[in-house]
A and B are shown apart, each in its own frame.
Chain A
Amino acid sequence: MAKRIEVKDLDIYYDKFLAVQGVSMTIQPRSVTALIGPSGCGKSTFLRTLNRMHELVPNARVEGSIVMDDDDLYAPSVDPVNVRRQIGMVFQRANPFPTMSIYDNVAAGLKLNNRRLKKSEMDDLVERSLKSANLWEEVKDRLQKPGSGLSGGQQQRLCIARAVAVQPEVLLMDEPCSALDPISTQAIEDLMLELKANYTIVIVTHNMQQAARVSDTTGFFNLQGVGKPGELVEIDETTKIFSTPSQKATEDYISGRFG
C-alpha cells in the first residue's frame, strides 16, 4: 500500500478553457500533502485529475503525465475505473448512499463491484474500516440503520470508512472538514494522522491552520487573475511554507495579506 505519485507538466482543460497550467509535483507515500490556495484556483480540479474523476465532466481533458510508482495513469491502455479503485476519494459534502445501511455503505465498494466475501470476512472488513475511521464505537449497535441518519461529522467519517474499505493506495480528500464543527474536524484530523501510516493522503483545504497541523508537505495554488489559469506557485515542506516561503505570493496568502 501507499504509492508515490509524480505529476509532470500537467495542463487541465474544461473544453477549450485552460483551468490549471503546468503543475509538476511529487507526492510522497505515507505522508499528508496539503493543497491550499484561494477559491477557483484549481486545487479541487487538480485533485480530481489524480484519480481521473475530472474527465467525468463532458469535454474535460488533461495534458501532461501523472505517474503512480511506475504506472502512467493517463496511458491509453489504463482503465479509469481501475485507477479509481486504487485511489479513493472523500468529498467536501458527506455523501453516504441514502438507500443503504451503515454496514452496506462501508461494504459498498466491494458490494457494488460484485466482490463476494464470506459473511464473517465482510463483517471483519466493515469493523476494521469503521475502526480506522474512528466511528466503530459510535455505530456498532446500529449497523443496520440508514447511514443518512448519522450526524454530519459521523457521515463524513462513514465516507472515509467507505473509501478505506476498498484498501486504496492513495486517499484524496477534497475539503473534508469544511462543513463540519471543530470537534468533528479534530476527529478527522486525528484520523488523517493515523491513516498516513498506511496511505498516501492528499488533502485540499481552505483552512491554513489545518494544513499546518496535518500535512508534511504543502502546495500553494494561485491564479494570476480572472479568466487566467491556476498554477502551482510552490510546494515544499509544510514548516518551510509557513515560516519562510520562497515566493512573495505564498507569504502574502498565508499571512492574510492576499488580494
Chain B
Amino acid sequence: MSTSTTTPEQDPELHTPLGGVPLTAGQLPRGAAPGMLVASAVAGLLLWLLAGWAIVPCALLAAAAYVVIVYTWSRAVEGPRKATDRLVTAIVSGAFLLALLPLISVLFTVVSKGLERFDAEFFTYSMVGVTGEGGGIYHAMMGTLIITGLAALISVPIGMLTAIYLVEYGRGKLAKAITFFVDVMTGIPSIVAGLFAYALFVMIFGPGVRMGIAGAVALSVLMIPTVVRSTEEMLKLVPNELREASYALGVPRWRTIVKVVLPTALAGIATGVTLAIARVIGETAPLLVTAGLTDGDNFDPFDGRMTTLSVYSYYEYVSPGLFAEASFDRAWGAALVLIIIVMVLNLIARIISKLFAPKTR
C-alpha cells in the first residue's frame, strides 16, 4: 500500500492517477437545460395542434428529444459525468411525472364529477322511494362507518396481541408458523375473504344471510395481517435497552410490555392501524357478498342488509335504471365521500403520530 502511493507509475492498472485532471470544466449556458425543456415541449405542442398527431406520441417524442439533445450537448461541453447526471435526472423526473399522472387524473375526475351532488339532501337522505333524481348516501355513509368500525374493533386487539406475542414471547416453530400464515393472509384476494365470511355466517344462520357484522368479519380477515405486520415492525424498533432498563428495576415482563414497550411504540402502531383502516374502508367485493345493499337506513349490524359507500357506488353505476345521469352523479358523489374519509383518516394518523411520538424537549 505505502509503496504504491509513493510510486504510482509502477502499477497503472490498479492506480489510475486522479491528479492532473483540470479542476475546471465547461458548463452549459445558464438556463440552457430549462430552455431546451420548454423548446421541446413547445415543439410537441405544435405537432399535436398543427400536424394533428395524437397527444401521447407527441409528449413522448418531446421528452425523448429533450433527453437526447441535452445529453449530447452536455457531453460535448461538460463531460460524461455531468451528462450522465442530466440524463438520469431527466429519467427520474419523467418517471415521477408518469406516476403522478394517473393519481391527479383520478382525483380530478372524482372531484369534478362528485361535486355535482354535494348538497344537503345527498348527506341526509337515504334511497328509500327514490327512482329518479335526488336521493342520498346517508345510509351508506353510516353503513361504511359502522362496518369499518366493527372490523377495526375485531382486528386491532387480535392483531396487536399477535404482534406482541411474535415480538416479545414468540420463539420456535409456533412463532414461525404464525409469521408464515400472516404473510399468506396479506395476499388473500378480498373476494375470498368475503366468501369466507359469507360461508361462516351461512353455517350459523342458513343460506342467503346478509349482515353488517358478516361484512365486518370479512374486512377484519383483510385487516388483521396488516395490523400484525405494522405493529410487529414498530415493536421491533423499540430498543432492547429500554426493556432491560425496565427488567433491571424489577418490573415483570408483562408490565414492561404494557408500560414501557407499548407507549414507546404507540405513535407507530396508531399510524399503522389507521392506515390499515384506510386500506379496507374502500373494499367492495367482500361487502357485496356479505352485507349486500338496501335502500333504507339500517344501523343494526346484526340484522339484515347494510349498504356501504363502495357497494352503493358500484350499484348506482352498474344498474342506473331510467334516470342514468342522476344515478351516475350519486355514484361519483359516494366515491368522492369515500376518498375524503380516507384522506381524513390519513390526516388523523399523522396527528396521532405527532401527539404520541416520544418528545425530546
Residues B230-254 near A (CB distance < 8 A): 239, 241-242, 244-252
Judging by beta carbons under 8 Å apart, are B250 and A148 in contact?
Answer: no
Mostly, the A contact residues are: mixed
Mostly, the B contact residues are: helix
1/0 per residue, CB under 8 A from B, across A176-206: the answer is 0000000000000000000000000000000
**Bound form: Cα–Cα A163–B359 in Å:** 22
- Chain A CB within 10 A, most for which of B239, B247, B255: B247
Closest to B258 in A: A112
Find chain A residues with CB under 8 A from B250 CB. Answer: 81-86, 109, 113, 166
Judging by beta carbons under 8 Å apart, are A99 and B264 in contact?
Answer: yes
Q: Using known A-B contacts A84-B249, A84-B250, A109-B250, determine if residue A93 contacts B241 with beta carbons closer than 8 Å.
A: yes
Is B346 an interface residue when CB atoms closer than 8 A count as contact? Answer: no
Is B145 an interface residue when CB atoms closer than 8 A count as contact? Answer: no
Find chain B residues with CB under 8 A from A214 CB. Answer: none
Closest to B249 in A: A109
Interface size on A, residues (CB 8 A): 33
Judging by beta carbons under 8 Å apart, are B242 and A95 in contact?
Answer: yes
Q: Using known A-B contacts A53-B247, A89-B248, determine if residue A146 contacts B263 with beta carbons closer than 8 Å.
A: no
Interface size on B, residues (CB 8 A): 24
Judging by beta carbons under 8 Å apart, are A91 and B251 in contact?
Answer: no
Judging by beta carbons under 8 Å apart, are B248 and A88 in contact?
Answer: yes
Is B361 an interface residue when CB atoms closer than 8 A count as contact? Answer: yes
Residues A49-104 near B (CB distance < 8 A): 51, 53, 56, 58, 81-86, 88-89, 91, 93, 95-99
Is A145 an interface residue when CB atoms closer than 8 A count as contact? Answer: yes
The chain A residues found within 8 Å of chain B, CB to CB, are: 51, 53, 56, 58, 81-86, 88-89, 91, 93, 95-99, 108-109, 111-114, 145-146, 148-149, 159, 162-163, 166
24 pairs across A/B with beta carbons < 8 Å? A51-B248, A56-B244, A81-B250, A85-B250, A88-B249, A89-B244, A91-B244, A91-B245, A95-B242, A97-B260, A98-B242, A98-B264, A98-B360, A99-B264, A112-B249, A112-B251, A112-B259, A113-B249, A113-B250, A145-B361, A146-B359, A148-B360, A149-B359, A163-B249
